[in-house]
């Protein structure tokens, strides 16, 4: 519970790694380009609070011994590659999906609608049986990931999970970050937690997509039981 693996640390992924490391959670980073992983690690170490930040040579090395695997690559082909590489190595772990259905092209960022209806649905179609799946952080502006932690009143962090068995440990991990985890449903609501979704558009006490716990209760209703 005090260590995570994070694969694909770009701007958003690095901010997530900083959030956890600044709250005492060890972080193992991997990027297919070693220089990018090292640059991300240096940025995370600047804010780490009694947390180890290391770089793994391979994705398999990164997830070895970890319960939580954060996948923060671009969606589609990069996700296919990482999940294929990890294969059965994901079984028994919880994959934390931070994806949005956006293509980065020379012409700019282009939204796309996956056949599964959401990037979360796409990831779910790739995971081997026995892998837990959580959707979180996709709807937040990158700057808000750390800036909205440890506020008073506390900001609520909406997340989705494939089952209560996955949601319970995920809640414990997310609660370490100075946010209040708020389960909003199963993976069928992934689109609500992605860019353009209802939680991304929601105005809150602390700005767009950053609602206090009281506001989240009014906006999303009570947390469901997934079974």
Residue 110 lies in a domain: yes
Residue 227 lies in a domain: no
Residue 226 lies in a domain: no
Tally of domains in the chain = 1
What local confidence, expressed as pLDDT, does residue 59 receive? 97
Q: How far is CA 206 from CA 89, 148, 201, in A?
A: 39, 7, 13
- The rounded distance, in Å, linking the Cα atoms of 152 and 165 is 30
Evaluate whether 65 touches 112 at the Cβ level (below 8 Å).
no
Structural domain range at position 113: 3-220
What local confidence, expressed as pLDDT, does residue 106 receive? 78
Q: Which pTM value belongs to this model? A: 0.95
Residue 225 lies in a domain: no
Average pLDDT over residues 145-155: 96
pLDDT tens string 4-27: 999 999 999 999 999 999 999 999
1 pLDDT band, cuts 50/70/90, is low
Average pLDDT over residues 65-92: 96
Q: Give me 168's structure tokens.
A: 């319970």
Residue 194 lies in a domain: yes
User: For residue 206, what is the domain's CATH number?
Assistant: 3.40.50.720
Strand partners, 97: 71, 135
Q: Which secondary structure element, helix H or strand E, spans residue 208, and what is its range?
A: strand 207-208
Residue 68 lies in a domain: yes
Q: Which secondary structure element, helix H or strand E, spans residue 156, and what is its range?
A: strand 155-161
What local confidence, expressed as pLDDT, does residue 107 receive? 76
Residue 154 lies in a domain: yes
pLDDT tens string 76-86: 999 999 999 99
Residue with tokens 């960022």: 109
Residue 214 lies in a domain: yes
Q: Which of 49, 71, 98 is nearest to 4 (CA)?
A: 71
103 pLDDT band, cuts 50/70/90, is confident
Other CB atoms within 10 Å distance of the CB of residue 226 = 17
Evaluate whether 141 touches 202 at the Cβ level (below 8 Å).
no
């Amino acid at each position: 519970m005090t260590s995570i693996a994070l694969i694909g640390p770009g701007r958003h992924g690095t901010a997530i790694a900083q959030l956890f490391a600044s709250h005492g959670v060890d972080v193992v980073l991997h990027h297919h380009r070693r220089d990018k992983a090292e640059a991300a690690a240096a940025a995370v170490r600047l804010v780490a609070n009694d947390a180890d930040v290391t770089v793994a040579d391979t994705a398999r090395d990164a997830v070895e011994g970890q319960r939580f695997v954060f996948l923060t690559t671009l969606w589609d082909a990069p996700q296919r590659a990482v999940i294929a590489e990890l294969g059965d190595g994901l079984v028994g772990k919880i994959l934390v999906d931070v994806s949005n259905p956006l293509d980065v092209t020379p012409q700019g960022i282009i939204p796309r609608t996956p056949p599964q209806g959401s990037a979360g649905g796409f990831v779910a179609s790739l995971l081997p049986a026995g892998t837990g799946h959580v959707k979180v952080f996709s709807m937040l502006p990158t700057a808000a990931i750390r800036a909205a932690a440890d506020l008073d009143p506390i900001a609520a962090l909406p997340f989705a999970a494939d089952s209560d068995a996955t949601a319970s440990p995920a809640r414990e991990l997310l609660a370490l970050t100075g946010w209040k985890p708020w389960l909003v449903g199963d993976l069928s609501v992934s689109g609500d937690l992605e860019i353009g979704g209802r939680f991304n558009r929601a105005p809150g006490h602390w700005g767009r997509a950053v609602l206090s716990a009281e506001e989240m209760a009014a906006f999303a209703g009570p947390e469901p039981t997934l079974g």
